Amino acid sequence: MAKTVHISKKKKGDSHLSERKAARAAQDLIIKNSLSLIRDKFMVMSGKGGVGKTSVAANLAMALSKQGASVGLMDVDLHGPDIPRILGLKGVLEASVDGRIKPKPYSDNLEVVSVGSMAGDPDKAVIWRGPLKLQVIRQFISGVQWGKLDYLIIDSPPGTGDELLNDAAKMKWKFSLSSNMP
Ligand SMILES: Nc1ncnc2c1ncn2[C@@H]1O[C@H](COP(=O)(O)OP(=O)(O)OP(=O)(O)O)[C@@H](O)[C@H]1O
Ligand SMILES: [Mg+2]
């Protein structure tokens, strides 16, 4: 009797595990397809806060887009999403027909995604935890309809940790810019 219970529990756990694996594999495929449409990816990061990451990311995105390149700017700073403020972007992000998020156009060839525009009110406190916090780059690439881009630029939170760097490393970024001004 006890043996039967043990086996059925194990089977349930196994099926959850394989469902999770299948979901991750499906997300990997979407990420691969999305990244194949993006020529170069930049990640702006620093161990410290307030050193100019957001300024560098926003200026780089503006400069490249003004030269005619199509640029995506992704703000993954969950606790202090400053990109909408620095660019003066207002309004909430919309979902497309397939349920992915449509980036917000800043100009003809610069599009932006920020958690600040997801919350609606940029001053509202949002608590992010669990899988989204750990896998925000994966979510923001797979869940956003970026389309064809010359450059994707990421503005990272201060003290970008192992989990974000692991995700970034797997996605084969061409450049990472470290902003360390005092
Ligand atoms: N090159 C610079 N020279 C002088 N001041 C700067 C420079 N770059 C940014 N600043 C100022 O420093 C402050 C912090 O800049 P910014 O928000 O870009 O930093 P951050 O690293 O993104 O901060 P956080 O870690 O909080 O996200 C801002 O007030 C900004 O105007
Ligand atoms: Mg910042």
Taking only the tens place, the pLDDT of each residue in 16-42 is 788 888 888 888 899 889 999 999 988
Cα Rg, the chain, nearest whole Å: 19
Beta bridge partners, 153, equal 42, 73
Average per-residue pLDDT for the chain: 80
Residue from 55, 59, 60, 155 whose mutation best tests the ligand 1 pocket (most atoms within 8 A of CB)? 55
Q: Residue 114: name the closest of 58, 181, 70 by CA.
A: 58
Q: Provide the residue ranges of all domains of the chain, joining segments of one domain with +.
A: 37-178
Of 109, 56, 48, 118, give the one whose Cα is nearest residue 84. 118
**pLDDT beyond 60 at 6:** no
Q: Looking at domain 37-178, what is its CATH homologous superfamily? A: P-loop containing nucleotide triphosphate hydrolases (3.40.50.300)
- Which atom of ligand 1 is nearest the CA belonging to 46? 21
pLDDT in tens, 167-182: 666 666 666 666 666 5
Tens digit of each residue's pLDDT (9 = 90 or more) over 112-154? 998 777 765 555 555 555 556 567 788 888 899 999 999 999 9
% of the chain with per-residue pLDDT over 70 = 71
Position with higher pLDDT, 161 vs 71: 71
Supply the pTM of this predicted model. 0.82
Q: Reduce the DSSP state of residue 50 to 3 states and report it.
A: coil
Measured by CA distance, the residue closest to atom 2 of ligand 1 is: 52
C-alpha pair distances (Å), 103 with each of 1, 3, 9:
56, 53, 43
For residue 39, count other CB atoms closer than 10 A to its CB: 13
Does residue 67 have a pLDDT over 60?
yes
